[in-house]
Chains A and B, each alone.
Chain A
Amino acid sequence: MAEAQPPTVVEGATTGDIEDEVPIAKSAEDRKAQAALSSLDAPRDDDSSTTKDVDQDAVRKAMDRIAGKGAANGVLTKKEDETKVAVKKNVKVDQADVALLVEELELNKIKSTDLLKAYEGDVTQALKAYVTRVV
């Protein structure tokens, strides 16, 4: 069962993985450095010395504030995103134009679409801007 997993399951997985991830550094010195790096891994999490000096109440309050701010922010950015998307949505982009940009400018689909939208779907303007490096 999933609940039966000790929390270390994944922790170990990660360390092992990091080791594997840097296959290039293979001299002894590098390995030493790497070992040092990974042995430093995460002992701090349980470091209680920092906890002592922290006023737990203040932290809680601060967290509430951050959470509140964060939420407000989240909403705010979302709103911004929405308006952006709305603007974008207003622009109709011809898929044939997107395909043209993908083919001729070798941009990916998302970038091509964005480029077209930035020029209100006007493929000529978009191409022109790209070629003359306004973008």
Chain B
Amino acid sequence: MTLLELLKNKEKKIIDVWVERALDSYISSNFFKQTEDQFANPVGVNIRTGLTRIFQLILSEAEQQDFAEPLDQVVRIRAVQEFTPSQAVAPILELKWVVKQVLSGEEKGRALLPELVPFDREVDRVGLMAFDMYMNCRDRLYQARIRELKSGSYILTDSSCASAAVRENLQDIASLAGNSGS
């Protein structure tokens, strides 16, 4: 059995462990793991769907751009949650560890471990891509803050009262007039 065949055989097990570990990063991880309705559980279902697709794409030696959508499903969520940048993208890199754990469980898997180097390199590549996406998300977030500030809603909190400003203007004008008279 080749490594690829074995990975395909073990797909369900690998993905289950991988998703389980990724969702362990949330305090209420059980809910995120168990609820299957994608609208009742957007975090859990998006991460499960995204990671599943990423694993399948790695096995099918997909083009880099094909990873964008499933990666986005995972990273866009984690980029606004209370994670450090490394924690946000860590689930991708964890795949290497998960695969080794699963393969090590049986003799034929252990024998194929040395052949995992190209697979690991592929995971690293996807991991780096995840970091780019993470930065794009953060950038988008800061842009959103700037846009809100520029849109005028800042007047709610950070501007002076319009009529007070008029009064101040009048006082300035009066004091200028007073100065010029003296």
Q: Do these two chains interact?
A: no
Measured CB to CB, the residues of B under 8 A from A are none
